[in-house]
Amino acid sequence: MVASFFISQPRFSPATGVGSRSLCLFSSSVTVSTWKDQTWELRHLDAEGVRSLAREVGVPPLIARLLVARGHTDARATERHLQASPMGLHDPNLLPGMEAATERLARARRDGETVLVHGDYDVDGVTGTALLMRILKLLEIDAVWHIPNRLVHGYSFGDHSIERAKETNSKVVVSVDNGTSAHGVIGELLECGIDTIVTDHHEAPSGPLPEATAIVNPKLPDSTYPWRELCGGAVAFKLAWGLARKIRGKRQVSPEMKAFLEEAMAYVSIATVCDVVPLLDENRVFARFGLKALEHSANPGLRALLRIANLNGRRLTAEDVGFQIGPRINASGRLGSAEKALQLLLADDDATARRLAVDLDVLNKKRREIEREVLVAAREEAGEFADASEHPVLVLAHEGWHQGVVGIVAARLTEEFGRPAIVIGLDGDRGRGSARTVGDFHILEAMSAAAPHLERYGGHAQAAGLEIRTDKVDQARQAVVSKAKEMLQAGGHPESTLVIDADLAFEEMTVETMRHLDLLAPFGAGNEKPLFRSHEVYLAQPPRAVGADRNHLMLHLRRGDHVLKAMAFGMGSRERELSLGTPLNVVYTPRWNTFRGETNLEIEVVDFESLK
């Protein structure tokens, strides 16, 4: 079903090829062990399949190889993927609960009822809340908002939700990015004469669903929606689209609503990238066109965010959103209340937006300082559980660790120790924690073994959260570790493997090649940045340690006359492995870098080996 509010896009234009003399496109899998026992493995792909896709789609062999490596083998489906046309967005009315949800909101409009938009404190929830608040205002529906305080209320619905609904005399509550499991509170709201519309993307619990007027969630058991991996902000966008249709009484929305929905894709792109959903199907459309909408946004809050992050006036990437925009929006909610972040996105004037953007920037710097302190302490505590065979999952807890950063710290620890990590911030007799994992290890399954010792928990295979009593931490740790050993059986996690897409002569990594690679952008989950290996590359000048802690390396690499600037993040300690005149094998991903208005091709080194 096509998106009727968009203008159709031109067909993908085939690119010309890059020189193939230097590409190892069809090599057998070869492994090399390097830094941190990380194994290099060159992808093995079907040569004829790559050639066939290149011919049928009209792309260079290198691009065809990367597409096949990411699961794209059918020519027509691959063309649709590359086009990522908004015309390919699925009909919002295919989502379960959409008709009931839009009908109830249309009635609220007719009857002059107040609607409470109940969001969440992360990027996904904040952007989705802002999106719904804006469209309800455009449709002249009286609306107020509520986002739980992470440190006071915790996640999703609670008594605070009922209090806020009563306080604002709301007759309808619309959730964003939460609510599918909120049986108790939604039932209490109904007893108070308040209807609830849930918009969410989390897995549904087993058994009956809450007594909501509608649950709009692509992951419901009976859902037939064509794409289940939407983020919460995208589900909110679908509700906005469906409501605009309902109010007009036609499949095609009004010109005013069409303009709003196109601009609102900026919100959805931020949510899609930061919630790390696969950038495939309509998520690719949201990310690609949403980034363009963000670049040209007239929204004062979004413009202020771009300015404070030094991103205004340049072409944006998913990486810009993930590392610059998202953390600033998240900072407010991580340290307690997401109020400032939402106020920024709802700001109607530049002065207010600039002030709030500065506030968020200050909060983000504070968040980084707190994160650094907790990470140092968590590393030290992890030393008590150094034996990975005995402790295949790190379960760390400490009084005073800020609960707003435990998820980030858990992610850092998984990278450093190569094991899943659960990090819990204790506050007196209770604590809240977050879990992250490595590879395909299902962290929620491991955590479920500790259910008798937990007050509350939930999440999915890659990340989860919990609430626990302080005196239950040791028992929970034992239960998780025991379950992890059972799941792993062999007694350890598979060694880290760095999968290389292709061998490429260094002199072939050119601006022209990079422009071809842009066909595959934006990159992210499910559409990973390409990794190349170049052999016998040399330093063009001595390496330079950079960064506040001098833990990054700035390099200039050459082969013959071809020189590229390179950054090796987190590799400051490896400076001694590098010397002028010594050849290197380098694994890297290319990128554009814009500085002072000038854009140049650079590479980001992921690993290297010295051929001394």
pTM above 0.85, yes or no: yes
- DSSP letter for 452, please: G
Return the structure tokens found at 276.
């790390």
pLDDT value at position 38?
A: 75
Please name which of 424, 501, 518 lies closest in space to residue 465, comparing C-alpha atoms. Answer: 424
Low-confidence ranges of the chain (pLDDT < 50): 1-35
Q: CB of 501 within 8 A of CB of 69? A: yes
State the chain's mean pLDDT as an integer. 91
What type of residue sits at position 143?
A: A
pLDDT value at position 491?
A: 52
pLDDT value at position 549?
A: 80
Q: What would the CATH number be for the domain defined by 23-87+498-610?
A: 2.40.50.460
Pick the CATH number of 389-488 from 3.40.950.10, 3.20.20.70, 3.10.310.30, 3.60.40.10: 3.10.310.30
User: How far is residue 292's CA from residue 6's CA, in Å, rounded to a whole number?
Assistant: 14
pLDDT value at position 37?
A: 57
pLDDT (tens digit per residue) in 260-295: 999 999 999 999 999 989 999 999 999 999 999 999
pLDDT (tens digit per residue) in 445-487: 999 999 999 998 887 788 889 999 999 999 999 999 999 999 9
State what percent of residues in the chain have pLDDT above 70: 93
C-alpha distances (whole Å) from 137 to each of 103, 109, 172, 173, 247 are 17, 11, 15, 15, 13
Return the structure tokens found at 405.
């950063």
pLDDT value at position 494?
A: 62
pLDDT value at position 17?
A: 33
Q: Domain limits of the chain?
A: 23-87+498-610, 93-359, 389-488
> How many CA atoms are closer than 13 Å to the CA of 88, on its beta-carbon side?
21
C-alpha distances (whole Å) from 185 to each of 15, 204, 221 are 55, 16, 22
pLDDT value at position 8?
A: 30
From the number of C-beta atoms within 10 Å of its C-beta (0-12, 13-18, 19+), residue 298 rates as exposed
CATH 3.90.1640.30, domain 93-359, yes or no: yes
pLDDT value at position 10?
A: 31
User: How far is residue 533's CA from residue 477's CA, in Å, rounded to a whole number?
Assistant: 41
- DSSP letter for 400, please: T
Q: CB of 329 within 8 A of CB of 302? A: no
